[in-house]
């Protein structure tokens, strides 16, 4: 099946990106053998006791790619992938790239509500999930989704049910690797095709997804790795889920592999797990969200692990508390790069030679000379120097539309292709950007983005609820948490535990489930009749609360 629903860059932009060398015309899957030819005996991936050289990785990937073809997966297919960080995930990702299959990268936290939607929207032909994890039976859910969406089920783990295929058995190397490598030429996906599908945090009923091409994503990772000075000595620890754009390609594990470095997989971001890996594998760099970084800082004070190999930490995904970049650098004895990025494209990093006040006080600047951006007011007019406004952007790795979302794209992009980030930024005199806040209707829970309208829609399914509004409430550990404000039907009662139980039964990812409930007699409205969330936020987070609750 061929994918439709992507929004291509206009021809003059394509010409520019090709002639000026941003896009190299190479599918991601081809690169793997460039790496193996260059660094074949070096260790590419470490996962527990498994250590794979670049050559071994490439051979596993080709064997897997051929077996996926044998299962009937074809160029143009999409596959739903929900896996923990592990070497098999890296191999699966690359095998998809070899044969033109696009992985749709779901988070481990996602449940039926999200996965069913993704399977439907992307029309996936296969689903890859672990057997069980943390007491959740992923395979049972995979079976249900597979049956509903006529998709094959591929399972990571020992306990593979009848009718499902074992990922372990597909990945085994066999036969003549050189012959297979030559034979792989028959797949040859085009570099302008979709390579992978990333999830956005979303600001609508259900989050939108982003199709990234080989050309754009290769540049995304390559240029990021240049900015972050990755090289052969880079040992990158995958701390966050590799389904995220940040550890996957910003520069993340792809940036490390492109430069002959080593990628170390962590199953959990907890310091108990990651510090041991840093010591054992002499890790030089990792990427963290502020909530995880805070736990590392706390643990670093008393750890007996040797963290001296750590040279740089990338931190981004949500607003960094003031002064925290400096605290982090001191606690871990390394440099910090702030990263302001998005699955939609645009990436900003502070540079390694920026002075400390810039590293601590800004979220960096775009990676590419071809990145364009504007800071605009509510009318779309550029704000004056130093004035905050919404950031709009376009460029060689920022697609011109969400996947299969023509209606939504009318609002999310301007007619001339600028992506409206929904973030409020200000341009610092250094040329770096500072993120001041956002106008999008979202909660940023420790870097995981939650669409407020999505949670409101789910709340309205509860029989007790007449009206619902979701706002972010500040939280020390996570930055923000989801607060659900509801007006109940007459005579109804509802408490937080009840809400949480009903959301869990409905199959909603845990990070979206409200952690605070406010039952109010009415929701405050703006003059044009929309819920006034600014007022609601003030009411809920201050003493002004009585005003509405008592109204
Ligand atoms: P997503 O679209 O889900 O990939 O999330 C990207 C969004 O995360 C951005 O548009 C910002 O709202 C937020 N974000 C990412 N990095 C930072 C950062 N360093 N500081 C503040 N917000 C950030
Ligand atoms: O928050 C993000 O989505 C994000 C943050 C930092 C991102 O996608 C990235 C870097 O690539």
250 CB within 6 A, ligand 2: yes
Mutation test residue for ligand 1: of 318, 346, 448, the one with most atoms within 8 Å of CB: 318
342 CB within 6 A, ligand 1: yes
pLDDT recorded at residue 2: 47
Mutation test residue for ligand 2: of 216, 240, 244, 285, the one with most atoms within 8 Å of CB: 244
514 CB within 6 A, ligand 2: no
Nearest-CA residue for ligand 1 atom 9 is 342
342 CB within 6 A, ligand 2: yes
Nearest-CA residue for ligand 1 atom 6 is 342
318 CB within 6 A, ligand 1: yes
Nearest-CA residue for ligand 1 atom 8 is 317
- Centre of ligand 1 from the C-alpha of residue 343, in Å: 9
**Closest to 399 measured CA to CA, from 226, 539, 253, 196:** 196
The answer on pLDDT for 389 being more than 90 is: yes
Secondary structure (3-state) at 521: coil
440 CB within 6 A, ligand 1: no
- Give the pLDDT confidence of 235-272 residue by residue, as tens digits: 999 999 999 999 999 999 999 999 999 999 999 999 99
pLDDT recorded at residue 1: 43
The answer on pLDDT for 549 being more than 90 is: no
Nearest-CA residue for ligand 2 atom 3 is 342
Ligand 1 atom closest to Cα of residue 245:
4
**Closest to 261 measured CA to CA, from 237, 280, 227:** 237
Cα separations (Å) of 529 from 453, 523, 526, 534?
16, 10, 5, 14
What is the percentage of the chain residues whose pLDDT exceeds 70? 98
- Give the pLDDT confidence of 458-488 residue by residue, as tens digits: 999 999 999 999 999 999 999 999 999 999 9
- List the structure tokens of 425: 């930024």
Nearest-CA residue for ligand 1 atom 5 is 342
289 CB within 6 A, ligand 2: no
The answer on pLDDT for 86 being more than 60 is: yes
Mutation test residue for ligand 2: of 339, 421, 443, the one with most atoms within 8 Å of CB: 339
What is the percentage of the chain residues whose pLDDT exceeds 90? 94
Average pLDDT in the chain: 96
347 CB within 6 A, ligand 2: yes
Cα(531)–Cα(471) distance, integer angstroms: 11
Across 227-241, average pLDDT? 98
200 CB within 6 A, ligand 1: yes
Q: How buried is 77 (Cβ within 10 angstroms: 0-12 exposed, 13-18 middle, 19+ buried)? A: buried
317 CB within 6 A, ligand 2: yes
The answer to whether the beta carbons of residues 458 and 503 sit under 8 Å apart is yes
Phi, psi of 441 (to 5 degrees): -90, 80
pLDDT class for 173, splitting at 50, 70, 90? confident
Nearest-CA residue for ligand 2 atom 6 is 341
- Centre of ligand 1 from the C-alpha of residue 317, in Å: 5
pLDDT recorded at residue 3: 67
pTM of the model: 0.96
- Centre of ligand 2 from the C-alpha of residue 220, in Å: 12
- Give the pLDDT confidence of 407-458 residue by residue, as tens digits: 999 999 999 999 999 999 999 999 999 999 999 999 999 999 999 999 999 9
Q: Where are the domains of the chain?
A: 442-546
Rounded to the nearest angstrom, the gap between the alpha carbon of residue 214 and the centroid of all alpha carbons in its chain is 17
The answer to whether the beta carbons of residues 452 and 203 sit under 8 Å apart is yes
- Give the pLDDT confidence of 129-167 residue by residue, as tens digits: 999 999 999 999 999 999 999 999 999 999 999 999 999
Beta strand pairing call for 209-213 and 194-199: antiparallel
The answer on pLDDT for 548 being more than 80 is: no
pLDDT recorded at residue 203: 85
The answer on pLDDT for 551 being more than 60 is: no
- Centre of ligand 2 from the C-alpha of residue 346, in Å: 9
Give the CATH superfamily of 442-546: ANL, C-terminal domain (3.30.300.30)
- The number of C-alpha atoms within 13 Å of 406 and in the hemisphere containing its C-beta is 2
Q: Please report which helix (H) or strand (E) contains residue 35, including its range.
A: helix 28-39
316 CB within 6 A, ligand 1: yes
pLDDT recorded at residue 446: 96
- List the structure tokens of 107: 């988070």
- Centre of ligand 1 from the C-alpha of residue 316, in Å: 7
The answer on pLDDT for 550 being more than 50 is: no
- Give the pLDDT confidence of 280-290 residue by residue, as tens digits: 999 999 999 99
- Centre of ligand 2 from the C-alpha of residue 279, in Å: 26
- Centre of ligand 1 from the C-alpha of residue 51, in Å: 33
pLDDT recorded at residue 545: 54
Give strand pairing partners of 423: 438
325 CB within 6 A, ligand 1: no
Nearest-CA residue for ligand 2 atom 1 is 317
- Give the pLDDT confidence of 12-59 residue by residue, as tens digits: 999 999 999 999 999 999 999 999 999 999 999 999 999 999 999 999
- Centre of ligand 2 from the C-alpha of residue 341, in Å: 4
Q: What is the per-residue DSSP string for 484-513?
A: EEEEEPTT----HHHHHHHHHHTT--GGGS
Ligand 2 atom closest to Cα of residue 339:
6
**Closest to 18 measured CA to CA, from 416, 396, 366, 368:** 396
89 CB within 6 A, ligand 1: no
The answer on pLDDT for 190 being more than 50 is: yes
pLDDT recorded at residue 74: 95
pLDDT class for 202, splitting at 50, 70, 90? confident
Cα(524)–Cα(399) distance, integer angstroms: 37
């Amino acid at each position: 099946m061929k994918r439709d629903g992507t929004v291509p860059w206009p021809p003059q932009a394509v010409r520019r990106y090709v002639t000026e060398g941003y896009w190299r015309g190479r599918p991601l899957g081809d690169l793997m053998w460039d790496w193996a030819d260059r660094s074949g005996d070096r260790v590419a991936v470490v996962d527990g006791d498994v250590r794979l050289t670049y050559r071994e990785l490439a051979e596993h990937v080709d064997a897997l790619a051929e077996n996926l073809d044998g299962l009937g997966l074809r160029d143009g297919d999409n596959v739903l992938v929900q896996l923990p960080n592990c070497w098999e995930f890296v191999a699966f990702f690359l095998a998809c790239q070899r044969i033109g299959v696009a992985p749709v990268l779901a988070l481990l936290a996602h449940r039926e509500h999200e996965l069913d939607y993704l399977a439907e929207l992307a029309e996936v032909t296969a689903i890859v999930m672990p057997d069980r994890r943390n007491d959740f039976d992923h395979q049972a859910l995979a079976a249900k989704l597979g049956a509903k969406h006529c998709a094959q089920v591929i399972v990571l783990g020992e306990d593979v049910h009848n009718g499902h295929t074992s990922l372990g058995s597909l990945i085994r190397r066999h036969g003549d690797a050189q012959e297979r490598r030559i034979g792989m030429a028959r797949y040859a996906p085009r570099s302008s095709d979709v390579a992978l599908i990333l999830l956005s945090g979303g600001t609508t009923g259900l989050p939108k997804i982003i199709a990234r091409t080989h050309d754009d994503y290769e540049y995304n990772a390559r240029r990021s790795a240049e900015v972050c000075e990755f090289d052969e000595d880079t040992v990158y620890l995958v701390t966050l889920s590799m389904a995220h754009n940040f550890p996957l390609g910003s520069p993340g594990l792809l940036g490390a592999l492109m430069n002959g470095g080593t990628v170390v997989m962590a199953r959990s971001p907890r310091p108990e797990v990651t510090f041991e890996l840093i010591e054992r594998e002499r890790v030089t760099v990792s990427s963290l969200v502020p909530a995880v970084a805070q736990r590392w800082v706390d643990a670093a004070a008393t750890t007996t692990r040797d963290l001296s190999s750590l040279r740089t930490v990338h931190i981004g995904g949500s607003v960094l508390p003031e002064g925290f970049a400096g605290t982090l650098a001191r606690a871990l004895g390394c440099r910090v790069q702030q990263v302001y990025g998005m699955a939609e494209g645009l990436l900003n990093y502070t540079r390694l030679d920026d002075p400390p006040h810039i590293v601590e006080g800004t979220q960096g600047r775009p990676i590419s000379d071809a990145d364009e951006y504007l800071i605009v007011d509510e009318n779309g007019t550029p704000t004056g120097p130093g004035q905050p406004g919404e950031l709009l952007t376009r460029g060689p790795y920022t697609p011109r539309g969400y996947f299969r979302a023509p209606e939504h794209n009318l609002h999310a992009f301007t007619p001339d292709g600028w992506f409206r980030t929904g973030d409020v930024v200000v341009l610092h005199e250094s040329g770096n950007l500072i993120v001041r806040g956002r106008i999008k209707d979202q909660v940023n829970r420790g870097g995981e983005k939650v669409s407020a309208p999505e949670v409101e829609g789910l709340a309205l399914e509860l029989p007790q609820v007449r009206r619902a509004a979701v706002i972010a409430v500040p939280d020390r550990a996570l930055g923000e948490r989801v607060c659900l404000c509801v007006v109940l039907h007459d005579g109804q009662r509802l408490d937080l535990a009840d809400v949480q139980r009903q959301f869990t039964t409905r199959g909603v990812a845990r990070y979206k489930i409200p952690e605070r409930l406010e039952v109010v007699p009415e929701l405050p409205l703006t003059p044009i009749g929309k819920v006034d969330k600014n007022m609601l936020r003030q009411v809920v987070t201050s003493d002004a609360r009585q005003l509405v609750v008592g109204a």
